[in-house]
Chains A and B, each alone.
Chain A
Amino acid sequence: MKKRVISMFMAAVLCAGLCACGGTAQNSEGAAESSQGQESTDDAGSKSSSGEVVEVDFWSAPNVDQFNFWTGKADQFNQAGIEVDGKKIEVKVQQMPESPSSEAGIQNAIATGTVPAASENINVGFSAVLADSEAIYDIQDEEWYKEIVKNREIESAVAGWELGGKQYVIPEYINPMSLEWNVKALEVMGIDVPETMDDFREMLTAFTEHKAELAEIGVTHTFYRPALLRSDQWWERWYDFQMFYQSLNGGGKWVDGNQLTFTQEGMEKTLEMIGMLGNTLMVDEIEPLWSADEVPVVFSISAPWEIQALTEAGKVYGQDYVYGPCIVEKAGDTPYSFGDSKGIVFYKHSSISEEEHNGAIAFVSWAYSEENSAQTDLEFLETMNMLPVRGDLQTNEAFASKMTDNPAYVDLAKYIPNTLPAMAHAKMTEIQEAFTEAAMVPYIQEAMECEPMNAPDASAYVEASIQAMKDAGSLE
C-alpha cells in the first residue's frame, strides 16, 4: 500500500514537473503580461486594421516608482494605438534586473540576447561601455532625436553626452548630488549647514565639543557612508569621491579621452577631507537611517528618492533634514558636484528585430513629442522627485509651480548648473574599482584609527592608485 502511495506521489510530482517544463516557453511572456493584463482587454477595440501587433520591450530602472511611471506611459501609448508600417506597437515595461548592479544586469542581458529594445537608467559612463561593444545605436543623425532635443530645449545638456562625436543617449533626468544634514544635530552643535572647508572644520570641532549633548539625541557619528569600504561597489565612488573632488577643486574630469585628468594634489585633498572625519565616520550599515526616530549621524549623501518615504515617516524638510551643497575650499567657490544623470538608449542586438527597434523609437519619441514632452517630464518629477533634464525647468510655468511647492526641490534645482557627469570610458568599472582598492579603502581604514581633525597623509595611497588606475584602464 505504502509503495503504491509513494509511486503515485512520484508520478504526480513528475507530471507537475513536466507541465512546468512545457510551460516554460510561454511563461516569461505570461508573467510579464499579467502585470498589464488589464489594458490588453481595453486594447481590443483599438487594434489596427491589419491586426498585426509588434511587442516592444522597455526596461525601467530597478525601482517601483520608475517602473510605475513607465508602465503608465506605456499604457497611454498602447491605448493611443500608434502604428508603425501598418503594425500596432505594444510596449511592455519591465524592471531591469539588478544583479548585483543594473549595469551587470544589462551586460548579462546582452550576452544572453534577452536585452530589450530600449531602456532607461543609463549614465554617460556606461553608455561608453555599451557603445564600445557596439551594443547601442548612435542616434545623432535621426530626425526624431533632433525633435526631442528641440522639444525639451536640451541642446546644451546633450553636449555632455557626446561620445567620440556621436550621441547615443536621450537624457532623462538629473539628480544633483548634495549632502543631507541632520538639522537636529546642527541645532545642538549651534552651527549652520557647512559649505566651506572652514565650516566643515568648525562642524567637526563642534561635534567633539558637544559629544555628550549629541549622544542624548542619539547622534554618535558624523558622516554615514558604508560604501567607503566596499570595493565591489565601484559605482559609489561617483557619490563620495568624484563629488567631493569636484567641489573642492573647482570641477575637473576624472578621465578625459584616454588621459587620467584628476590631479594628484586634488585627489589627496579630497581623501584628506574625508579622512579628517577620522573615527567619527560611520561605515557600518544602519537601516533605516533618515526615517528612524533618532538619526545617529550628522550628514550623509543626499537621496531625494527617499523624500516620499521620509514625509510618510513624519520627517519635515528643514526641520529634520536639509540639503546642503558639497563642501568647497573657500566661500565664493562654485560647489561643483556629481550629477547623477540617466537617460534612454536603444539596444543593438540580433535578437531585436527592426520592427521592435522602430517601435521603441515610436514609443520614446511619442513620450517626448512636442505635445507630450512637458507632461511626461512633469509626471516624472511628481512620481520620482527627481529633476527631469529640461532647458525650461525654471521658465516653463508647469514646472515652476511644482518646484516652488516643495522647498527640497528648490534647493536641489539650484545645484543642477554645477553638476558634472561620470567618466565616459569603456573601462570605467575597472578604473573606479582600482581607485577604491588602492586608495579609498586602505586610506579610510587608516583614517578611522585617528581622532577627528587629524587626517593621515594620503599621498602614498593616491600615488599607488594613480598607477593602479592607469594599469586598469590602460590610461596615460
Chain B
Amino acid sequence: MKKKVKIQIISGILILIMLAVSLFPFYYMVVQSLQPWKQVDKSIIPRGITLRSYEYLLNNGGSGNTFMWIRALANSLLVSLPTAIISSLSGLLIGYAMVKIRKFRGQKFIMNTLLFQMFFPGIILLVPKFMITKSLANTYAGMILPMAISTWAIFMYINYFRTLPDAVFEAAKIDGAGPLRIIQKIAFPSTKSVTVIVFLSIFMQRWSELMWDMLISPDISMQTLNVLISNQFKPMGNYPGPMYAASVILTMPIIVLFLIFSRYFKEGISFMLK
C-alpha cells in the first residue's frame, strides 16, 4: 500500500512539471498581453498591468479600418459556428442513414465514397477547390461551404449509431413514428456526448484554419482573426503587446468552450477509436 502512495506522489510531481511545461505558453501569452509596452518580452513575471494592448485592438488597432480586430473576431465566429452546425447536423443525418436505415440501394457505394474521401490527402484539391470557390471569394459562404461537411464527423456518428441497439428504433417505427420524428426524439437526444465532441472539434478546427481562409478571403474586412494575426507577421513595425492580446482573444473562447463541455469527453472519445 505504501508503495502505491509513493508512486502516486511521484507521478503527481511529474504531472505538475509536465503541466507547467505544457501550459507555460498560455501563461506567458496572457502576462505579455497585460504588460506595459516597454516591458513586453522583457520579463516572465508581470511588471505592472495595463490594458493598453487590448485598447489598441479596440481602437482600430493601428489600421484605418475601424474595428478591424473586432470585425475579424466576429468573422471567425460567423464562419466557425455555421460550419460546426452544418457538419454536426449532416453528420447526424448521414450517420443515421448509413446505420439505422437498414438497407437502401447505393448504401454501400456511399460508404465506399466516404471511406475513400476520408483517407484521401486533401492537399491535392487545394488549387482546383480554389478555382471552384473563387466566385465566392471574400464571402462567408466561400469560407463555410467547402468545409461544411466533415467525413470525420460522419464517421463519429456512424460509430456511435452502431453501438445503439436497433430495438428502440424498431419499436418507434412500429408505433408509427416517422423518420424525422425518430431522429428528433430518439436519435438526436441520445447523441449528446458525440454531438458535443463533433461540434466543438469542428468548431475548433474551423477556428484555427489558416491556409484556406487566407486564400479565399483575404479582404481586410472579411478576414478571420486567425488570418488577421498571421498577416501581422511582417518584418517591421509591429508592437508585440497587441499581438499577444490578439492571441489571447484567439485562444480563450475555444479553451473556455471545451472546459465547459469537458465532461462529455471521456465518453465521446471512445467513438474516435473505432
Please judge, given known A-B contacts A114-B137, A287-B238, A287-B240, whether A28 and B219 are in contact too, CB under 8 Å: yes
For A13, A35, A68, A100, the residue with the greatest tally of chain B CB atoms inside 10 Å of its CB is A35
Q: Which of B141, B188, B220, B240 contacts A24 (CB 8 A)?
A: B141
Please judge, given known A-B contacts A6-B192, A10-B85, A99-B227, whether A28 and B237 are in contact too, CB under 8 Å: no
Please judge, given known A-B contacts A99-B231, A112-B137, whether A14 and B222 are in contact too, CB under 8 Å: no
CA distance A99 to B219 in the complex (A): 10
Please judge, given known A-B contacts A31-B221, A111-B134, whether A14 and B85 are in contact too, CB under 8 Å: yes
The answer to whether B140 and A71 touch across the interface, beta carbons within 8 angstroms, is no
The answer to whether A35 and B81 touch across the interface, beta carbons within 8 angstroms, is no
Q: Which of A10, A20, A288 contacts B78 (CB 8 A)?
A: A20
List residues of chain A with CB within 8 A of the CB of B240: 287
A352 at the interface (CB under 8 A from B): no
List residues of chain A with CB within 8 A of the CB of B140: 20-21, 23-24, 27
Counting residue pairs across A and B whose Cβ atoms lie within 8 Å, the total is 110
Using CB atoms, name the residue of chain B closest to A111: B134
B66 at the interface (CB under 8 A from A): yes
List residues of chain A with CB within 8 A of the CB of B97: none
Q: Mark A20-59, 1 if CB is under 8 A from B, else 0.
A: 1101110110011011000000000000000000000000
The answer to whether B139 and A31 touch across the interface, beta carbons within 8 angstroms, is no
List residues of chain B with CB within 8 A of the CB of A414: none
List residues of chain A with CB within 8 A of the CB of B222: 27-28, 31
The answer to whether B65 and A17 touch across the interface, beta carbons within 8 angstroms, is no
Using CB atoms, name the residue of chain B closest to A37: B66
Tally of chain A residues near chain B (CB < 8 A): 49
Using CB atoms, name the residue of chain B closest to A65: B64
| Closest chain A CB from B131 CB (angstroms) | 8
Q: Which of A6, A34, A67, A236 contacts B64 (CB 8 A)?
A: A67
Interface of B, helix, strand, loop or mixed by DSSP: helix
CA distance A27 to B68 in the complex (A): 14
Tally of chain B residues near chain A (CB < 8 A): 44
List residues of chain A with CB within 8 A of the CB of B238: 287
The answer to whether B235 and A233 touch across the interface, beta carbons within 8 angstroms, is yes
| Closest chain A CB from B256 CB (angstroms) | 16
Residues of chain B from 130 to 167 with CB closer than 8 A to chain A in the complex = 130-131, 134-135, 137-141, 144
Please judge, given known A-B contacts A24-B140, A28-B139, A112-B137, whether A99 and B81 are in contact too, CB under 8 Å: no
The answer to whether B85 and A17 touch across the interface, beta carbons within 8 angstroms, is yes
| Closest chain B CB from A223 CB (angstroms) | 15
List residues of chain B with CB within 8 A of the CB of A212: none
Using CB atoms, name the residue of chain A closest to B230: A99
The answer to whether B82 and A20 touch across the interface, beta carbons within 8 angstroms, is yes
A95 at the interface (CB under 8 A from B): yes
Using CB atoms, name the residue of chain A closest to B218: A97
List residues of chain B with CB within 8 A of the CB of A227: 235
The answer to whether B85 and A112 touch across the interface, beta carbons within 8 angstroms, is no
List residues of chain B with CB within 8 A of the CB of A16: 81-82
The answer to whether A95 and B227 touch across the interface, beta carbons within 8 angstroms, is no
A7 at the interface (CB under 8 A from B): yes
CA distance A279 to B143 in the complex (A): 46
The answer to whether B218 and A99 touch across the interface, beta carbons within 8 angstroms, is yes
A226 at the interface (CB under 8 A from B): yes
Q: Which 7 A-B pairs have the closest CB atoms?
A: A97-B218, A17-B82, A31-B221, A112-B137, A67-B64, A112-B134, A20-B78
Interface residues of A (CB under 8 A from B): 3, 6-7, 10, 13-14, 16-18, 20-21, 23-25, 27-28, 31-32, 34-35, 64, 67-68, 71, 94-95, 97-100, 105, 108-109, 111-114, 226-227, 233, 236, 285, 287-288, 293, 303, 305-306, 309
Interface residues of B (CB under 8 A from A): 38, 62-66, 71, 78, 81-82, 85-86, 89, 130-131, 134-135, 137-141, 144, 188-189, 192, 214-216, 218-223, 227, 231, 234-240
